[in-house]
Structures are given as C-alpha cells and as structure tokens.
Amino acid sequence: MKFHKEGYPSLALAVLISLLLISLAYFVLDGILIAKPITIFISAFILIVILQFFRKPNRRMVQMADGIIAPADGKVVVIEEVHDDEYFKSKVRQISIFMSPINVHINWYPISGEIVYSQYHKGKFLVAWDPKSSTDNERHSIVIKNPIHGEILVKQIAGAVARRIVNYAELGEQVGQGEELGFIKFGSRVDLLVPLDMDINVVLEQVSSGGQSVIGTYLK
C-alpha cells in the first residue's frame, strides 16, 4: 500500500496540526487529567484519516479489449437509460458509482483510446447520490474514443464533501485501460455513459473495484 501524490499537501497539513496538538498536550494540558490523552488521540485520528483517504493500493488491473472496467471503487447506484445533452446528444446507458469517504479515491481509465473531449464544469455541491448531481454539480467530463468500439464518456462529479476534482486527461492523448485518470478528494461519484447495446455486467448496489470489476462488454 502506497500514499498517493495528491495527498501530500493534506498530509503535510495533518502532520502540522498533529504536532501542534501534541505540543499543546505536553506543554499546556499536561496537568489536566484527561485532556492530554484526548488531544493525542485526536492528533492520531487526523493522521489516520488522511492516510486512509489518500492510500494507493497495489492491484493487478484487468485488461479487456472487448469491455470496460470500473473507473472507481464504490457502489453502483444508477443503471439507467438517459439522454445525454452534453456530448452524445442522444440516448445512452448511464452507470454511476458512488465513492464513500472510506473508498480509494483514485479514478482509472475504463478503456483504452484517445481523449477526444475534456471539459470542466462549475456547479453545485449536492450530495453525490442525488440524481441531479450528474448535471448540476461541479464535474469534469472526458470522452475516450476506442478505435474498435467507439466512444464512452467518463464524468467525475464533486459532492457535498468532495470539492476537489483532479483530472489528468489531455486532448489528443492516447490512454491505456487501467491507467490513472485522476482523483476525487474525499470521495464522491463517477458516471459512465456507454452505448445502449452494451451488455452490462453489474447490478444496482454491487460494490465495484476500480480497475478490476467488469462494468460491461461489447456485444459481438
């Protein structure tokens, strides 16, 4: 298990706060019976939470030429037909994965191909399970064009707590399935918009593993 680079600023701040709390415990609250252990506990808790949020697991990524893999850890909360007004301008299948604060917050490319669209949208910070969060919340959308299967859209969505989306995609870049797409600090939601004729391999409430769970396969 490693620590992700996106967590370095937060870790530095957490270490600083912990050191200040420990100094307070030993030099100011030393004579108060329960204040010292409580302060030390709080400082340790802050560090553990930050390490948990920004952990980077070692995992073997699934490679599928005829399918897409999960872009994030979390729970599948939406599988439905929708009309996409942003890019496709047509009906597509939406699969949404909700990332809780205890999930790994890295996002991965679900398929290989070329980045043909990348757009950041300012927006609200509704709770991530609200259906309106897909269109109203702050978000970053990218479209990956696979030379065989065509295009899919991946949407990183901020939530009520998660207010920092990091996206690594660059227009014209060739990306590989299972490579890091970005990061959503403190969890939230990732939407996939895929063709209607794709065979969906997940069900509602299923727990997905980013880079490993098979979301769907292309019909031959």
Write the pLDDT tens digit of every residue in 73-91: 999 999 999 999 999 999 9
Under 8 Å between Cβ of 175 and 147: no
Task: Exactly one of 96, 112, 134, 188 is catalytic; name it.
Answer: 188
pLDDT band (50, 70, 90) for residue 46: confident
Q: Is 23 in the active site? A: no
- Whole-number mean pLDDT of the chain? 89
Give percent of the chain with pLDDT exceeding 90.
56
